[in-house]
Amino acid sequence: MYNLKTIWRLDAPRQPIWDALIAADQWPLWWRYVSNVELLQSGEAGSLSSRRRFTWTSRLPYRLCFDVRVRALAEHNWIEADVSGDLKGTGKWLLSDFEDSTLVTYIWTVSTEKAWMKVLAPVLAPVFIWNHNQVMNEGAKGLASYLGVALLAFEQSRNLPQN
């Protein structure tokens, strides 16, 4: 099980960041490694009834495909989702004010479901975490560019202890 935390600091208010995050169908426009987002169950962007299938590429030669179902949210503050498919677990976006900027924290608590990843995880976990960091860094840079704002900081993921 991976319990990863990434922090982006963007020179923007919460509203445009929130709008970009809940418009997941648009992520391929600005997030380099999101190759496809397919609507599985309709609902307003970021609504509790929405479910989408994400296909991701990465710096490493493999793809991940998983479904994301929004299970809870507090508008402009946080959104939490269940993940199933090649990865299984939860993801949570948290937005908070920091001086004149916004901190975007992402907590990704997942296990790998692909057989080869499970077998190799004891040895390759650091490589998988490195790859996750590369994907998240591209997301931070892409979102900043998409919004026309500065990326002020990027704190790489680390595997946190399980609670």
**98 within 8 A of 106, measured Cβ to Cβ:** no
Strands (E), the chain: 2-10, 34-41, 51-56, 64-74, 78-85, 87-98, 101-112, 151-155
Task: Specify the pLDDT at position 50.
Answer: 86
Instruction: Tell me the pLDDT tens digit for each residue of 113-129.
Output: 999 999 999 999 999 99
Residue type, 152: L
CB under 8 Å to 42, separation ≥6 — which residues? 49, 50
Instruction: Tell me the pLDDT tens digit for each residue of 54-108.
Output: 999 999 999 999 999 999 999 999 999 999 999 999 999 999 999 999 999 999 9
Domain borders along the chain are 2-155
**Total-model pTM:** 0.93
Q: How far is residue 96's CA from residue 162's CA, in Å, rounded to a whole number? A: 23
- What topology is assigned to 2-155 in CATH? Alpha-D-Glucose-1,6-Bisphosphate; Chain A, domain 4 (3.30.530)
- Counting runs of H as helices and runs of E as strands, what totals does the chain give? 3, 8
